[in-house]
Amino acid sequence: MSLSKVLFLCTGNYYRSRYAEELFNHIAEAEGLGWRAFSRGAAERGSPNNIGPMSILALDRLQAKGIHPEGAARNPQPCSLADFGAARLVIALKEAEHRALIEHRFPTAAARVTYWHVDDVEFAPPSVALAMIDKHVRDLIAALPSVDHPVTR
């Protein structure tokens, strides 16, 4: 059986999207779901202020939950049009921040994106932002279509 995929997007693929990816995969595996997440950055390049492959804020929160991130050593990756093709669902973490960027870079795929409203670390502390992602991911998992049925909107 092939797994359905969800693509999480944030700006640089360093903090929010990486946290969502790892949390989703941990829960999906524990519950035996036929889904897998991957994440990318909507911007062509990540921020020079991002140190290391993954935000220590996301990493610490995952580890505090007993989650050992599979992709902790992977460097952030920018999104490509092929990533949209590989995903059954696409979620960007902050509409106000990502919609224009996605529409500019990927006009043919932009209509497929569902937007959440999770601020980056400059605007919301991790205790707030990551808790919002926790809730969104759990709500998403509860609402996932089965692998055998198409996604409807």
Query: Could you read off the pLDDT of 44-90 as tens digits, one per residue?
Result: 876 767 777 999 999 999 999 999 999 888 999 999 999 999 999 99
What one-character-per-residue DSSP string does 101-135 give? Answer: HHHHH-TTTGGGEEE-B---TTTS-HHHHHHHHHH
Residue 52 falls in which region: left (phi positive, over 0), alpha (psi -120 to 50) or beta: left
pLDDT band at 1 (very low <50, low <70, confident <90, very high): low
The one-letter amino acid code at 65 reads: K
| Average of per-residue pLDDT across 104-120 | 95
Quote the pLDDT of residue 152: 39
pLDDT exceeds cutoff 70 at 110: yes
Among the listed residues 4, 96, 1, the one whose alpha carbon sits nearest the alpha carbon of residue 42? 96
User: Has residue 24 got a pLDDT over 80?
Assistant: yes
Q: Is 6 helix (H, G, I), strand (E, B) or coil?
A: strand
- Give pLDDT tens digits for 88-99: 999 999 999 999
